[in-house]
Every structure is written in structure tokens, then in C-alpha cells.
Amino acid sequence: MTAAIETVQHSPQSILETVFGFDQFRPPQDAIIDTLMAGGDALVLMPTGGGKSLCYQIPALAREGCGVVISPLIALMQDQVNALKLLGVRTAFLNSTLDFSEAQEIEQALRSGNLDLLYIAPERLTQARSIELLKASKIALFAIDEAHCVSQWGHDFRADYLQLTLLHELFPDIPRVALTATADARTRQEIVSRLQLDQASQFIAGFDRPNIRYRIGLKNNGKQQLLKFLKEEHPHDAGIVYCLSRRKTEEVAQWLRDQGFTAMAYHAGLSAEIRASNQARFLREEGIIIVATIAFGMGIDKPDVRFVAHLDLPKTVESYYQETGRAGRDGLPADAWLVYGLQDVIKLRQMMEGSQGNEEHKRAEQHRLNAMLGLCEITSCRRQALLAYFGDELEKPCGNCDTCLQAPETWDATEAARKALSAAWRTGQRFGVNHLIDVLRGSNSDKIFQFEHQNLPVYGIGDELDNNQWRSVFRQLVARGYMSVDMERYGALRLEEKCRPLLRGEQAIELRKDIKLKSAKAKKPKVELASDADVDLFEALRACRKQFADELNVPPYMIFHDSTLQEMCISKPRNMEEFAEISGVGEQKLEKYGPGFLEAITRFQSA
């Protein structure tokens, strides 16, 4: 066990400074900590990278006893514990990766009061042995991380979370804090209800991540579009590429390797050993790309993920927000990049129709997919729409999304939309988009003559648009609710009630012109520094950090974040006193790493 830090009786402010190396709290961290220090419960919604962990780590250190953190992420507990140990915090985890003797040693440390923080998996927590252990120990607080996992309407539901009401029932006097980065109003209410947090103070920080640039475009050749994006903007950066299927993740990962990138697949069909190995490399090495299904990412602690790319449409806005939120946790510029097409919509709706959920659940999922489509097709600021979905408000357009940086062009598509709707109606609402386009453009395909569609009044009336333009029309009509996809008829397009005024000539419609997803106007630097010399110093400090990380077998960011290295480049500390003023340098890190980094700075300046 790591030597004890004497934190009991110390104020949260002094712990923030001496242990974590920060001068001040970000609102509402201080109010959350005050609530827990006073013994109250709290529900915390705070964006990824907003400092949620400090909200329970600091009161756990300041209160008498051990803070117990319930986390669904066994694979990440080791890294979370290692990061705290580097700060001198007495911490451990209990999960299925430990053998009996290791678990016994940790249990004894908890009983003896020799732990500040204990991370535990929910399935472990609910075992009778664990309950008896907690009853025999002094507990400072319970922190329920990734609290949205309790919601059966959410995208990361974990059945074990439903049993966490036992914390309130068995330990009514111990404060609890439930934390998540992603929850709409319905999910928040379910967290309150299922975790019995009716009396808890609620802290909802803004959802905005201003350092992330949101860009959404039409998919025409997804892999080539991705390759262009990576080569032009992130040739050496760490990032995540999300795909809908397991097979596609492996195909894309292999293809990226063929293009010279270090890329690995991650999905639930891989063995636990391969998943753990790939995740460990992503966390510990520089410039790794993970190509994954949604099985990867919840709680990922890596701060220097410079991009998150989606090659398929996410199912919900919640999924999109949480997945893109894994980029730029260090506050430096990052990209959220997405390409999608009508086939994505059809595939997702097929998956929903085939799910085991009841009709109410399916309707809710359709509603959420429609909201995601609306975000994709919107012509105004994407960030404003994204935040509004979560009940947050941004007064002015953000200036850092594709629609702000390059306002999308629109066109009067009223006549084209009527033709598209008429084609679906005249063919009996039994055919998919490709056949409807063939009808409109007067194709001579066998299928046209098989169904005698050459005799319809809509045959050949749409040759003013090419195939891709017609796909855009149909896609946007589906996204806006004028048409829907009939899964029982293999993706046939059918009319919705909303289309009647448009068909009758009582309504006009503007659609966006599809344009290629453009690269950022200028290549974003890795860090924002004043001179080339500072950029060179930054690379020298990264090398120093990597050496420390390799010696300790931990990810480089556990030594210092990129933002801390950036501050070193700007301030160029000359001694330990000045080094201690750097944000993120606490007492333990000052003593362990200060001399090495000061030497690197001096050596660079004298070169």
C-alpha cells in the first residue's frame, strides 16, 4: 500500500492544492463537495472532462473513512487506481481480476482504515460478503459513477445498477453522489427514482464542450473520407473511430493499418484478453487509433484523444454526445467528425424493429433516432441544437461547428419533394429508394418493366436531378418526418401524415444542398504555443514524460496532461518553487518529477 496522506481534518481547498495541484475549483465542484461534506446526497451532471472525479475524491479524502466508488468499468479501474497512487492517495479496487489473497489484503486494509478510496464493480458490491465488509468498515461516502447505466431507456443500461438502492436502505446516513456526463430529463428522473435520490441536491453543469469542433457530412465513400480527414488533420494523433458492426470495425482497422496508421479493433466479440490489450495500448501509447463499436469508450480516462470519428450514424443524440465527449478531455482543440447516409437510417430502423423491447420502448427509440437525424440535417448551429436537446441553452451560434464555419446552402425543393412523395405513393409504398429513383429518372431496368412502372405518370419526371441528388431529397424527407422506412417491407418508403400539405401545394420546403465534408480551414496545432521553439520544447517535455511513464508502466497522461506541459513551455520554470506554481503539479508530483522536467527545460534552453 502507498504511504498514507494525512488528509483527514484538512479542508477540501488544501487537498485540491497539495494533492491535485490546482488553485481553485470549477463551479459547481465546490458546491457539490460542500453538500457531501455536510452529509447530503447529490446528483451530478457534468460534461466529460469537467472534473467530476474531484467531486467525490476530495470529500472522500477530507471526510473520515474510505470513499467507495461504484464503477461498471473493470478494465479501467487499474488505471484510475494507478493515477491516484501517483498522487500518494491510498487506493485500491475490488473486482473479478483479483485472486483470493489479493482481495483479502484489500478487504483488511479497508477494515483497518488504511484506504482513502476503494473502486468496486456493481456486481461485486451487491454480494453478501461485500455488504458485510462495508458494514464492518468506516465509509466516508458512496460515489455511483456512470449513473445513467441505471436507466433502462439509456444506451448503456447495466442490470446490476438496479440493485444499488441497497446503499440507501442499508447505509442511510452515508452520503451518496451519482454522477454522469449524459442524461436527458427522462433519464435524470429515472436515476433519481431508481437510486432513491429524491432528497438529493441536483447539480447540472453546462453540457457545452467548446473545444470540440462538430462536423457532420454526407457519406459517399466513408473510408476514403476518413483517410483524407486523418491525413490532413490528425496524421499522428490518438483517436477513436466508431462503426456500427463488429465486422466493419475489423475491416476498417486493418485498412487503416494498410494505410500506415497504428489501428486496432475493439468490440464485444473479441476475447477479454485482446480487448484488454488493445485498450491498454490505446491508453499508454501515443498516436493509437481504436476502431470500435459502442462496446468501447464509457469512462475512458485518456485526456489527449484528439478526434472521435463516426463512420455510421449513432442511434441517439445521447450516444453521439457521450461518444464525441471522449475527445479533448484536456481542453485542447479536438474534432467530432461524422459521415452518414440513408442506408444508416434503414439499418438502424431494422435493428430497432428486430429488438426485444416492447412497443413503447421501440417508439421511444424511434423518437431518439429522429432527433439524431434532425441534428444531422439542421442548417443552423449544431452546438445550439445539441445543447438544447439536453435542456441547455447557448445564446449565440458557437462559431466552432461546420454550419457556423460554412453556412450550408439550401434550395427550394418543393417540386422535387412532391415528385419524390408521388413516386412512393404511385408505386404502392412498397419500394426502397433506389427503385423510386429509377422510376423518377426513367430507368429501363428489368424491375421497372416487371412492375409496369413505365406506365405511371411519375415515370421519367425527375431527370433534372442525378441519383445522388435524389438520394439527398429522400434522406431529408425521411429525416424531417415526411416519409418513413417500412421495415416489414425491407426498407420500403412510405408517406406520413405530415406530407399532406406539401403534396396539396399548401406548403413549400427548403432542403440543404449536400456538400463534401471539408477539412478545417487551417491545420490545428497540437497545442497553442507562441513560437516554434516552444513547440520544440513541448516535444522535449513529452519525451521526458514518456520516460517517466515507461519506468512506472503507466500511461503518459498520468504523469502530466498535455495542458500542463503546455503551461511549462509558456512559463519555463527555473526552480522547484516556480515549478510548483504549474497547474496540475501537487506535492507528490513536484517531488517525483520536478527535478527531471526542470533538467529537461534547462537542457533545451542551453542547447
pLDDT band (50, 70, 90) for residue 419: very high
pLDDT tops 50 at residue 161:
yes
Over 60: is that where the pLDDT of 523 sits? no
Strand partners, 96: none
Report residue 252's pLDDT band, with 50, 70 and 90 as the boundaries.
very high
Per-residue model confidence (pLDDT) at position 238: 95
Percent of the chain with pLDDT over 70: 92
Strand-pair category, 289-292 with 307-310: unpaired
Cα–Cα distances in angstroms (integers) from residue 24 to residues 16, 88, 432, in the given order: 7, 20, 58
Q: What is the pLDDT of residues 322-379, one digit of tens each?
A: 899 999 988 899 999 999 988 888 888 777 777 777 777 777 777 788 888 889 988 8
List all residues 6 or more positions away from 175 whose beta carbon is below 8 Å from its beta carbon.
Answer: 35, 36, 39, 40, 41, 42, 59, 141, 142
**Structural domains of the chain, ranges and CATH numbers in brackets:** 12-204 (3.40.50.300), 212-405 (3.40.50.300), 410-512 (1.10.10.10), 532-606 (1.10.150.80)
Q: Tell which residue, 209, 72, 202, has the closest CA to residue 148.
A: 72
pLDDT of residue 378: 83
Residues 6+ positions from 471 with CB-CB distance below 8 Å: 341, 342, 433, 437
Q: CB under 8 Å to 600, separation ≥6 — which residues?
A: 540, 541, 543, 544
Per cent of the chain over pLDDT 90 is 60
Q: How confident is the model at residue 532 (pLDDT cuts 50, 70, 90)?
A: low
- pLDDT greater than 60 at residue 243: yes
Phi, psi of 574 (to 5 degrees): -105, -15
Taking only the tens place, the pLDDT of each residue in 7-25 is: 444 799 999 999 999 999 9
pLDDT attached to residue 7: 41
Q: How far apart are CA 75 and CA 272, in angstroms?
A: 10
Element (H, E) at 203: strand 201-204
- The CA–CA distances, whole Å, from 423 to 472, 506, 512, 606 equal 15, 19, 21, 75
Helix axes of 532-552 and 562-571: crossing angle, nearest 10 degrees: 130
Amino acid letter for position 504: R
pLDDT tens digits along 185-241 = 788 888 999 999 999 999 988 789 999 999 999 898 999 999 999 999 999 999 999
pLDDT digits (tens, 9 = 90+) for 92-144: 999 888 899 999 999 999 999 999 999 999 989 989 999 999 999 999 999 99
Residue 92 near residue 109, CB atoms below 8 Å: yes
Which residues are within 8 A (CB) of 588 and not within 5 positions of it... i.e. 6 or more apart? 19, 86, 87, 88
Q: 556-587: per-residue pLDDT in tens?
A: 989 999 889 999 999 999 999 999 999 999 99
Q: What is the mean pLDDT of the chain?
A: 88
Q: Torsion angle, CA of 534/540/545/546, rounded to 10 degrees? A: 140
Please determine, for residue 267, whether its predicted confidence score (pLDDT) is greater than 50: yes
What SS3 string covers 541-560? HHHHHHHHHHHHCCCHHHCC
Q: What is the pLDDT of residue 423?
A: 96
pLDDT score for 153: 54
Find the angle CA(135)-CA(136)-CA(141) to the nearest 5 degrees: 55
Higher pLDDT, 174 or 295: 174
pLDDT tens readout for residues 270-282: 998 898 889 888 9
pLDDT at 157 over 80: no
Grid coordinates standing for 601?
527545460
- Answer yes or no: is pLDDT of 29 > 90: yes
Q: Of 453 and 373, which is predicted with more confidence?
A: 453
Q: What's the pLDDT score for residue 516?
A: 60
β partners of residue 9: none
- Coil vs helix vs strand at 505: coil
Say what the pLDDT of residue 518 is. Answer: 58
Render pLDDT for 542-553 as a digit per residue (tens, 0 to 9): 999 999 999 998
Give the residue with greater pLDDT, 5 vs 498.
498
Whole-prediction pTM: 0.75
Higher pLDDT, 353 or 88: 88
Q: Say if residue 522's pLDDT is above 60.
A: no
**Backbone angles phi and psi of 331, in degrees to 5:** 85, -5
Give the pLDDT confidence score for residue 341 in this predicted structure.
86
